[in-house]
Amino acid sequence: MKQLIADFPIQLHEALIIGQSYRFTATKKAFTNVVLTGLGGSGIGGSIIQNFVFDKMKVPFIVNKDYFLPSFVNSNSLVIVSSYSGNTEETIMAMQQAIKAKATIVCITSGGKIAETARKKKFDCILVPAGMPPRACVGYSMVQVLYTLQHFGLIKDNFEKDIKASIKLLKDDSKDIQKKAKVLATKLNGKTPIIYSAPDFEGVAVRFRQQINENGKMLCWHHVIPEMNHNELVGWKDKDNSRAVVILRNKEDYQRTQLRMEINKKVIKKYTSNITELYSKGKSYWEKVFYFIHLTDWVSVDLADMRKQDATEVKVIDFLKGELAKV
């Protein structure tokens, strides 16, 4: 897992090559909505892109993480089927519904049943390298979603230069990123991490939470500001230093949101002394996103080391899949 994380900049470079080389067969049309269906490491990229396109796309972009698609999916919908293995049962079922709805379908996978169905149905299918844990391949899948949206005229193509700048940033800051990760992992070790962010970085916060779950083998939770100011903030009533708060911050966060973050710190400090503010680096949205992803991925494997856990194994998920296969 450490090597996969270290190679993240290389993955982004390869993802650009894959996206630039792929030739879509589906023609452009005016969609009324876009649905990305995928779970876990195959779906989190969609959540981050949903944050990105919030103020850029003129039609809704929905991320579906279930067996069932929304009832509004029809022949005017674009459905992006994202499953790294190509065998995710929920995603396969959702894909069958998209076929029945006569939606335009684009698949992003490394193979499996989804690639096979795409081949038979002559759907666009962007293949990414196989043989890795899905959560370690978020760069591959996320970049292909961007190229898909670009092909259909839903977003502009300036993301390419931002991703290239991200690659340079991650390479240049590699040692500093790993140093910061170890410091933060030390603060989180033996604690219950609580992650807060602004709404447009919620996907990144979820990614961080999931990596702590899967790599670090720890429970944690996340919330967004300002929404948590209307509910969760009231829950801070018991002093408990076993809770460790991490606030993901950007200097460009909306000023009222930043003000709320400062006030939240004053409230939360009464109940835990473990509060860390993690600031992004970079000029563009994607530089900030990939900086956070790379840094927090390192945090998750450092936690695994500190807890003497195998960051790669997911035996309990394998057990769950095995039990489901019996039914």
Is 14 annotated as catalytic? no
Q: From 282, 309, 214, 298, select the one nearest 6 (Cα to Cα).
A: 298
In degrees, to the nearest 5, what angle opens at C-alpha 224 toward C-alphas 316 and 274? 75
Contact (CB, 8 A) for 128 and 18: yes
Is 321 annotated as catalytic? yes
Residue of 90, 191, 202, 214 marked active site: 214
DSSP of 12-48: HHHHHHHHHH----SPP---SEEEEE--GGGTHHHHH
**Range list of H helices, the chain:** 2-6, 8-21, 44-53, 89-100, 112-121, 138-151, 159-172, 174-188, 202-214, 255-268, 285-306, 315-325
Distance of CA 227 to the CA centre of its chain: 20
Contact (CB, 8 A) for 309 and 299: no
Residue of 28, 168, 270, 321 marked active site: 321
Q: From 42, 289, 278, 21, select the one nearest 167 (Cα to Cα).
A: 289
Is 283 annotated as catalytic? no
Integer angstrom CA distances of residue 263 from 26, 111, 152, 244, 260? 50, 48, 43, 17, 5
Q: Enumerate residues 6+ apart whose C-beta is below 8 A from 205.
A: 195, 196, 197, 222, 224, 248
Residue of 230, 308, 315, 326 marked active site: 230
Contact (CB, 8 A) for 160 and 187: no
Q: From 67, 60, 18, 291, select the one nearest 171 (Cα to Cα).
A: 291
List residues with catalytic annotation: 214, 230, 321
